[in-house]
Each structure stands twice: as C-alpha cells, then as structure tokens.
Chain A
C-alpha cells in the first residue's frame, strides 16, 4: 500500500492553493452585500458618555450605524468564557461582562463601541472615522503584576483587585517540606512574552439573514464551525441552532486565534438581521493585532530542589497570567489545566505545587495560541533544568537523563497520567544527530573567529488530544471534547468522510484519506473529505490542541469499524461464506483461502440496490460515530539548538536546530515534518523576535508588521527533524499529535543555547540583538567586579 499509513502522499488539497483557486471567506461575495466597519476605542480604559453618529448616517452609502445599547436591547448575550475555574477558597472565577459592542465602558484599545454598515468597505471605514464618541478616560494598567498591586485601576466591578481566580494544583505541604530539606535549590523569575498569533489570513465574516425563512448563514474564518454555531446560539442568542448555518471554507491558518467567537461575527449576524443585507467584515492587519486573542504573557517565579544525587525532590511555581480586558472562550483553561498539569515535565518528581492568578488588564484578551499553556510549562521546566545543570556543574543531558520518567503509566502529582514514551531514546537520537560530543571543538573553532557558540537542550512533554469529556467536565469545561465522523460509501464504491475536525493548513484532505485507503485498500483519489459546514457535517468540536489525529481520526476509525462490520455481513451473504472467513484487502471483499471475492464497488452497489442483502438488514452503506478519548496523549521529544552570537552586535544566528519527537503513529511523515518546521519557526520567533509591546497608556506599539517582528526566511535555519516513537495506547491508531510540539519545545532550547553562548543566564524573550548585547555587557561587567 503506497498511500496508506506511513506514506509520504502529496497533498490532495494543494492544486487549488497553488493555482489561486482556494476559497477563503474574503473571496466570497454575497448578492446585496454590505460592509461593516467597527468604531473602536482609542483609549485603553474609559467610560463611554455618548455616541454621535449623525455625520456618519448622513453620508451617502451608509446603511446604518448600530451601537451596543441596541445590541443588548435585542437580547444578544454577553461573550463568555467556556471553562469555569475554581479558586483555592472554593469560589468560582470572577468573570466580568463582555458585550460584543461596549455600552458603558471600554477596557482596551480596539474595544468596539459601534458598527457602521455601508455599501462599500471604503465608505464604511470613512464613516466609522466620523462617528464621534465621548470618552471619559480612566487610569490604565497593562501588566499582570501591576494590576494585582494595591490601588491598581479597577477594570471589572465583580473582579476586586482585578483578580479573576487564584487557583492551585499539586501537593503544597509536602512540596514545601521537600524544598526545605533539599540539598540544592534553583530559583528563577521567568517571563513568558506576549505574542500575537498572526495567521496570514486575517479574520473575516459574512453574515446573511434570510427574512423569509428566519434563517442565518455565516461564512467565517473558524477552526471549529460547530462550536461557533453552538455558542452563537446557546449563549449569544443570535438564532437557534437549526436556524443558523456556519461555514468555515478554506481558512488561512489559525494557531488558536480562530477558535474563539469574537464580537465581529456576532455583530455581523445581528447587523444582517437589522439591515436585511448580507454583512461582510474583513480585518486588516492592525485590527488583527488589536482584536485577535493574544497568547502567553506569564510572569512566573519557580523554585526547584535537588538531593545530593541530583534527583529532583520538589518544584514550586507561582504564575501570574495576564488574561487581558475580557475572558476569551478558553482563557481560564490555558494558564491552569493546560499549563500547570505539565509542570512535572519529563521528570519523576514526587512533589509539585503550583498556584496561578488569572488577572484582568487593559489589554487585548489572551487565550490559547499554538501550544496553549504547554509552551509556558516547558519553558519553565527546561529553563530550570538547564540552569540547575549549570549551577550543579553537571552536563545538562546527564541531569535530565537521571531524572526522566522511565516506567509507564506514570502518575504525576499534577493530574496527568503519562501513558507511554522513551525520553532517553529521543534524547540520544537528538544528541547523535546534533553531534553533541563534538560541540566543544566547534565552540573553540568559533571563538577563533570571534564568535560565541552555545548549545541548549529542551526535553519537552505536552498533552494533546484533549480529552475525556467526563474528565474535562469535572475540571470545569463547558463542552465535551469528543469528535464525530461519518463514513459514506457511495453505490459506486467511492467514499466521503464527513469530519468534525477542521483543516486550516494541516492537510486533512490527504491524511484522513490515507487511513481510509489503508483500511479498505482503495486509492486516496476515491476518498473525499468533507468538513467545515454545519449543514453537511453532523457535529464536531473542531481542530486545536493537536486533536485531529488522536481524536478526529479515531472517530473516523470507529465509523469505519461499523462500515467494515456491515460490509462483511453483505460479503458473507452474497459469497455464501461465514462472516469469520471474510477479509477486506486490495479493494475487494474476499473469502479467506478461496478465489471468491466481490470488488469494493460491487459491495456498494449491493448495499444500495438491496436486491440481495441479509434479511432484516437496512439498505445503504453509511455509518457515523462519536469518539470520546480515554486519556490525553503525551507527545514528547528532545530539541537541541546550537547558536553563534556576534559579541560586537548581539546578533544571534541559529547554526543548527535538531528535533527528535515522539508522536506515536505517523500517518504522513511529510505533513508531520511540515507541522514541526512551522512550530519551530513560531517557537524561534517567540524566543528571538516576537513580542507584543504596550506603552503605559495601553497603546499597542507593535500593531503592524513594521513593528512586530515576524520570523522571515533568513531568520531561521534548515531544521533537522526526526522521529523516535512509542505507540500511544489510548487510541486505535496509536497517535499522539504533532501540531504544536515545535512551538512548545523550541523556545527554551533557543534561550538555553544563547545564555550558554554569552555566559549570562539573565535573558528574557525575545532575545533580540539589543537584549543579547545588553546581557553580554552585564556579563562582562560582573566578570570585571
């Protein structure tokens, strides 16, 4: 089987993209389409005293100007966070109200207060500028530490001191006791910089209200159209689910930022009903910086204890998580259950305790961005381990090896039960490929050229395939996290797979077809993947958290099991054999040990003509399934980064980046490697280039590509990507997930390498040339003292 599991099948979806025939939301034009432009607050914190839209309404081509009082007056509900987190003291989190259009108060620059609907995008934008809003400005706070300080400006009435939750996990007293009696203590302050996700396709929405049927259609840039429909219906009261169709056509990248249901989609739907026009909105790039949910932004203090044999005895972590001005859909889960549950890393640690404060600030809401909590956890763990090795004077690889979890399943003190892995094998593979042994020679050679060479490790572990619905429900999730699939075998034997997963770059049309090809011995060209339309696919939880393989494909497998059972019954009946003797291979249904067979399309035809099927059997050949995972999956690996720093300028060049990952079963290595490449670039971006910058007034200084440094082609190297896998026991294909690992594992490897090169461990991300240069000056000053 050349197209089955493990084959590097070229992507079925590519042709439309390379010929310019992709169909993204902004490419679509509805008849009688109007355009929306939002009136956004230029202030980070202000009372709204009044809105004067008279000049805008007088402009030719303006259809209407709508505001938040009208929106709430029509019963449109507040935007909610779908994951309830309980504080240490047992109280629920303090969620402030978030209206799609602000009424009394704005809380970040970009908060929308009104929307202009006009005949063209140009008129709408011009008219939006002529809407006069009377603001009474209020004091502003942008950092989580400052927002928790006494006397900080109060952002939401029901979150005193701007504290949303004060949550904890792990075993506190034993951890403190272990740290108190530890032989060595490593203690660090660690900042995880705020990032803007920046999928290349800006968000876009087109809403159409059909008055005669009381029905809405929404085209939108979503990673999870069914979740969007559910939330728009159940919480925002836009329309009941059967009166709302959500379509996410080709979507140009998501990285988490297109999970959420934003004010703009809600407003477009509502405005379509108000104006009886199709309403389109497409974000420009600065608007994306101002409104797409940001990622990360943690301030952490961590303390790790070792015994005299360099075994870790305990870890205590405190993190202040900046959640921005409002609670986005999964904002509470990201710095808690997706973060602190990974604070045992790849290591056997008996005692771990973490507490996390979720904090309101006058900034863009923060939510899951590629990796979601796990990059923050791996950054804490792997910076601590590398620092510990330096302080203990031991090899960083040795120190990790000594502390690895070696037996599975392994229960950590922070909920997770690791099911499989071979961390030493990944480490060895990466060390061999990176020629770790030869590093000191290369360092010496670089020094002769006046360059500082450094090497850094990162042995990450993360949790994907989120996760058993009952488990996440008990932790506060407002939804189940299963996936659904339908397998339709047509009368001519071709197959359509309808999946609740959504592809926005991941290549599902190819990978999903491969598992069908493998199972039934058919060419992938006979298999079509249908996704992204709530009218076609029965339901789906969408694509994020690297769940399309472990959960989405498992649902397809479960549906294929049912198809296979029915096919075998038909085969046994027609071929007059025992069902136990029926096998399916090479696109045929065969009787074992004989030459009797039915070709695949003959089975399809038999099922649909129903002239000769077993008595009592329903005609047709179509099965659906819902798959609920039994556990998280645990991708893990070892990344080694080697850099050279120019001490004159602080410019860092990545000489070599080596990644050895354990993703379990790999369906299409070409696609998996591509996922790792992209994740690595985003992680290197975080480590060296990217960072959202606010001034003290809450103005975003980095809200364009002239100011926010996206990694370019000449900023990154060719990557050495390899696999050393153990099968995941938790799902039928043995898959762990590969979508986020690169972004999770790489930042600590880069910073560990740079700090190794410059001999100063005090370096925050992004390690720009000026930051590296300053750290070098600090190091030489300290050396002189």
Chain B
C-alpha cells in the first residue's frame, strides 16, 4: 500500500492504495467519482478519459501512483456549478450527442481537450479532424453523427465563452 496524493476537481485527495491500482480505480473505487467509466480492458474505448495536468488521458492506462501530485479533472469537475455547465456539456445536450450516456463522460473530456489544443495551435477543427481525433473513443449508440455536431457546436461555444 502506498499513499497517493493528488488534486482532483480542485480538491486535495489522499488515499492508501495498492501499488498496482490504476488511476481509473483510484477515481471510481477510492474517490467514488463514478462518472469516469470502464468500457474495455485494452485502452481502446475511451470511456475513462480524464484530464491529467490539463491533458486528456485514458485513466485505465495509468497507475494511480504515476499521477502522484498531479492535477486531475474528471467529468464531475467540468461544470463550475450545478447550473453552470461547461459549454461542451451544453452542446452535447443541445445536439442530442448522447443516448445511453456511458461513453459520454469520456467523449466530453476528449472533446474539451481537442478543442483547447486546436484553439491553442490556431488550427481549424474541421469535421474530418474531429472524426480523426475521436479515434480513441467508441460510441455504440449515436453513430457519431450528433457527437460530431456536438463537438462542432461546443467548439464555437467555447470560443465565445
């Protein structure tokens, strides 16, 4: 057992966990933040995407110990208050970008990271670019149509914000 300390959604977290604990297990089982999901065993599906030090990361590919001292944001930490959702969350709702909701947290965390990276690099986030960037996120419900539209809309909302 090792004490692992990090900042999650703006709050200090510290838990004694076994050395082989994955970051996703730390988040789900130890911090009980269950918005981050596990949909595969091989880091393909992206349901577990969180932000670690500002970068999108599949939390199933990373040991909790490797996030020692890191700043982590999960989907629960994206909105500033219960009535003030992140523009990307609003975009997913307004464009029907989710159905069963299981892949959604990972999609939203990937999407916000994607928009931020393109905006910082001054690159245009085209439909093709969005589809390419979603290579690591699988959705079985939406056929991606409305997810792509949500991210396009979320990107303009984030620019406006």
Q: Residues of A at under 8 Å CB distance from B? A: 10-11, 13-24, 26-27, 29, 122, 198-202, 250-253, 255, 284-286, 504-507, 670-671, 673-674, 677-682, 704-706, 710-714, 716, 718-719, 742
- Evaluate contact between A19 and B89: CB separation under 8 angstroms: yes
Instruction: Specify which chain B residues have a CB less than 8 angstroms from the CB of A682 in the assembled complex.
Output: 140, 143
Q: A681-B143, A742-B143 in contact; A18/B103 too (CB < 8 A)?
A: no
Report the Cα distance A671→B84, complex, angstroms: 25
- Contact of B53 with A by CB under 8 A: no
- Evaluate contact between A718 and B148: CB separation under 8 angstroms: yes
- Evaluate contact between A200 and B42: CB separation under 8 angstroms: no
- Evaluate contact between B140 and A199: CB separation under 8 angstroms: yes
- Minimum CB–CB distance from B12 to chain A (whole Å) comes to 20
Report the Cα distance A680→B142, complex, angstroms: 9
Q: Besides the contacts A20-B105, A674-B141, A713-B135, what 19 more A-B pairs have beta carbons closer than 8 Å? A: A11-B96, A19-B76, A19-B79, A19-B85, A21-B35, A24-B34, A122-B18, A200-B100, A250-B100, A252-B100, A252-B101, A285-B41, A505-B100, A505-B101, A674-B145, A682-B143, A705-B40, A714-B128, A718-B148
A20 contacts which of B34, B103, B138, B145 (Cβ < 8 Å)? B34
CB closest chain-B residue, reference A20: B35
- Minimum CB–CB distance from B119 to chain A (whole Å) comes to 20
- Evaluate contact between B92 and A20: CB separation under 8 angstroms: no
- Contact of B93 with A by CB under 8 A: yes
Residues 38-94 of B at the A interface (beta carbon under 8 Å): 38-42, 44-45, 47, 74-76, 78-79, 82, 85, 89, 92-94
Instruction: Specify which chain A residues have a CB less than 8 angstroms from the CB of B42 in the assembled complex.
Output: 285, 704-706
Instruction: Specify which chain B residues have a CB less than 8 angstroms from the CB of A680 in the assembled complex.
Output: 143
- Evaluate contact between B45 and A713: CB separation under 8 angstroms: no
CB closest chain-B residue, reference A24: B102
Number of interface residues of B (CB under 8 A): 56
- Minimum CB–CB distance from A593 to chain B (whole Å) comes to 42
CB closest chain-A residue, reference B21: A122
CB pairs A–B below 8 angstroms (25 shown): A10-B96, A11-B93, A11-B96, A18-B93, A19-B75, A19-B78, A20-B34, A20-B76, A21-B76, A22-B35, A199-B140, A200-B102, A200-B103, A200-B141, A250-B100, A253-B99, A505-B100, A505-B101, A677-B145, A682-B140, A704-B41, A705-B42, A710-B138, A714-B132, A716-B143
Report the Cα distance A705→B148, complex, angstroms: 22
Report the Cα distance A712→B96, complex, angstroms: 18
Instruction: Specify which chain B residues have a CB less than 8 angstroms from the CB of A200 in the assembled complex.
Output: 37, 39, 45, 47, 100, 102-103, 138-141
Report the Cα distance A506→B32, complex, angstroms: 27
Report the Cα distance A712→B76, complex, angstroms: 26
- Contact of B125 with A by CB under 8 A: no
- Evaluate contact between A507 and B99: CB separation under 8 angstroms: yes
- Evaluate contact between A710 and B140: CB separation under 8 angstroms: yes
Q: A19-B75, A252-B100, A285-B40 in contact; A712/B138 too (CB < 8 A)?
A: yes
A718 contacts which of B33, B96, B127 (Cβ < 8 Å)? B127
- Minimum CB–CB distance from B131 to chain A (whole Å) comes to 4
Highest count of chain A CB atoms <10 Å: which of B82, B102, B130: B102
Report the Cα distance A253→B103, complex, angstroms: 10
- Minimum CB–CB distance from B146 to chain A (whole Å) comes to 6
Instruction: Specify which chain B residues have a CB less than 8 angstroms from the CB of A20 in the assembled complex.
Output: 33-36, 74-76, 105
- Minimum CB–CB distance from A680 to chain B (whole Å) comes to 5
Instruction: Specify which chain B residues have a CB less than 8 angstroms from the CB of A670 in the assembled complex.
Output: 96
- Contact of B8 with A by CB under 8 A: no
Residues 15-33 of B at the A interface (beta carbon under 8 Å): 18, 28, 32-33
- Contact of B98 with A by CB under 8 A: yes
- Evaluate contact between B35 and A678: CB separation under 8 angstroms: no
CB closest chain-B residue, reference A8: B96
- Evaluate contact between A251 and B100: CB separation under 8 angstroms: yes
Instruction: Specify which chain B residues have a CB less than 8 angstroms from the CB of A29 in the assembled complex.
Output: 32
Instruction: Specify which chain B residues have a CB less than 8 angstroms from the CB of A714 in the assembled complex.
Output: 128, 131-132, 134-135
